Amino acid sequence: MSANRKKYIRWILDAALIAAILIYLDILQADTTAHSYAITIIERSCIYAVAAVSMNLIIGFTGQFSLGTAGFMCIGAYVTGILTIPVKMRDQIYYLYGMAGWLHDIRLPMLAALAISALICGVIAYVIGWPVLRLKSDYLAIATLGFSEIIRAIFGWDGLGKITNASYGVSNIPPFANIFECVAICGVSILIMSLLIRSSYGRAFKAVRDDDVAAEAMGINLFHTKQLSFVVSSAFAGVAGGLLAVFMRSAVTSTFTVALTYNILLMVVLGGIGSVSGSIIGAFLVTGSQEWLRFLDKEYFFSDLFPGLAGTAFGAARVPLLRNGFRMVIFSILLMVVVLFWNHGITGSRELSWERIAGIPAAVREKKKRKAEAAERRAREEAAAAALEKEVRGQ
């Protein structure tokens, strides 16, 4: 098959996939009441996908172990929330501290607020990147994790109550107009990061990740490359935080804990470090699994599962283990199973493509063929060894 024909087929398949997604989203949007649960999962998954890809940009593509994602998401959430809440509700929300006069009447559309969030996060990342990015490995992780906790403490400080409303946070943030708005913003954000990764800057990121000594010898400025990756990653983490605030309709510091950073890191590792499509798959799998397993947090009687046992002593007994928190136990076990079988993540460091999907059956057959050939080779070697041993004993 010629290269042009393969390209046209890829375009057709991409267009068909986008059309199928739009049709599905239109079905959900047509009856938001009946499909509210599915809409919630999709919107949350898309937002976490942006955060996961932004973290993968610095960890997977540049090789810098940064754990400050939750801190930048906190900044983005508060900036977006403060700039988008209706002016007439601000006195009610800031009833304890009162909103700063210079900020009280400033209200922007969501897209403008998200852009300012990204800009502020990028500037802060540029400033703290000067000392922090000179660290490596675990030291960088500890430094950025500490920065994340400092941000939470600052935004919850009473001294900034006129701006952040301190520990009370910001509420009554206008929601998304529809599911298309959320998915479109997330899709454009991921697309911009993907284009950056495929550009000459992205190749510089990968060179620094693979061998920083060789990259420097080739003329790549290590510090500036790391700083660029850190700034872009932090900016889009701020966008993800702003989207999360709009989704939750509130922004409080208790949302952006270390647990959130670890949860996003889990999505990156599960999907595949160094893979954009892997981060997206990981975000949807982790978010969806945590929601779909929620039924395990409820206590059941055997009669609930087997109606025929109603009225019997066995039917009145509680099902063991099923109680609040058991969902995360099963979720952790499933994660361990996935990691055991896919220790490099679901997609590994490669991107998911139509060629790769089409090649899965052939790859499975080839793997089985290699195993059969190896078994046959071992059998021949064992037979030859046995014959040699028999001949030696006969002599």
- The mean of the pLDDT values for the chain is 86
Phi, psi of 301, deg, nearest 5? -95, 155
Maximum Cα interatomic distance, the chain, rounded to a whole number of Å? 104
Q: What is the mean pLDDT of residues 95-114?
A: 90
Q: What is the mean pLDDT of residues 34-58?
A: 93
pLDDT of 343: 72
What 3 state SS string does 312-343 have? CCCCCCECCCCCCCHHHHHHHHHHHHHHHHCC
Residue-wise pLDDT for 284-343, tens only, equals 999 988 888 777 777 777 677 677 767 777 677 777 777 777 777 787 888 888 777 777
pLDDT of 318: 75
Phi-psi region of 30 (alpha: psi -120 to 50; beta: other; left: phi over 0): alpha
Q: Are strands 170-171 and 250-251 parallel, antiparallel or unpaired?
A: antiparallel
pLDDT of 292: 82
Question: 300: helix, coil or strand?
Answer: coil
pLDDT of 32: 87
Question: 77: helix, coil or strand?
Answer: helix
Q: What is the mean pLDDT of residues 188-208?
A: 92
Percent of the chain with pLDDT over 70: 93
Give the whole-angstrom CA distance, residue 111 versus residue 117: 10
Phi-psi region of 220 (alpha: psi -120 to 50; beta: other; left: phi over 0): beta
pLDDT of 373: 75
pLDDT of 330: 80
- Go through 244-282 and write b for each residue having 16 or more CB atoms within 10 A of its CB, e for each that does not: bbbbbebbbbebbeeebbebbbbbbbbbbbbbbbbbbbb
Tokens 């990061």 belong to residue: 193
Burial (CB count within 10 angstroms: exposed 0-12, middle 13-18, buried 19+), residue 222: middle
pLDDT of 319: 72
Query: Do 146 and 132 contact (CB within 8 A), yes or no?
Result: no
Of 19-28, 36-45, 94-103, the range with the lowest mean pLDDT is 94-103
Residue-wise pLDDT for 199-251, tens only, equals 999 999 999 988 888 888 888 888 899 999 999 999 999 999 999 999 999 99
Query: Do 281 and 348 contact (CB within 8 A), yes or no?
Result: no
185: which 2 tokens?
């913003």
pLDDT at residue 109 is higher than 70: yes
pLDDT at residue 362 is higher than 60: no
pLDDT of 146: 92
Q: What is the band of 126 on the pLDDT scale with cuts at 50, 70, 90?
A: very high
pLDDT at residue 359 is higher than 70: no
Give the whole-angstrom CA distance, residue 124 versus residue 151: 11
Query: Do 45 and 287 contact (CB within 8 A), yes or no?
Result: yes
Beta strands in the chain (DSSP E): 170-171, 250-251
196: which 2 tokens?
């950056």
Q: What is the band of 95 on the pLDDT scale with cuts at 50, 70, 90?
A: confident
User: Which of 249-253, 297-301, 361-365, 379-383 reaches the highest mean pLDDT?
Assistant: 249-253
Residue from 165, 153, 136 nearest 63 by CA: 136
First CA to last CA across the chain, in angstroms?
Answer: 61
DSSP 3-state helix, strand, coil percentages of the chain (rounded to 5)? 75, 0, 25
Percent of the chain with pLDDT over 90: 42
Report the C-alpha dihedral over residues 275, 276, 280, 283, rounded to 10 degrees: 60
pLDDT of 231: 95
Vertex 146, ends 145 and 150: CA angle to 5°? 120
Identify residue 209 by its one-letter amino acid code: R
Residue-wise pLDDT for 75-94, tens only, equals 999 999 999 999 999 989 88
Of 23-27, 276-280, 305-309, 376-380, the range with the lowest mean pLDDT is 305-309
pLDDT of 314: 67
Q: What is the band of 150 on the pLDDT scale with cuts at 50, 70, 90?
A: very high
- Helix count (H) and strand count (E) of the chain? 18, 2
pLDDT of 186: 95
Residue-wise pLDDT for 254-293, tens only, equals 999 898 999 999 899 888 888 898 899 999 999 988 888 7
Query: Do 73 and 256 contact (CB within 8 A), yes or no?
Result: yes
- CA-CA-CA-CA torsion sign (180, 181, 184, 187): negative
Distance of CA 85 to the CA centre of its chain: 27
pLDDT of 363: 53
Give the whole-angstrom CA distance, residue 81 versus residue 211: 41
pLDDT of 335: 80
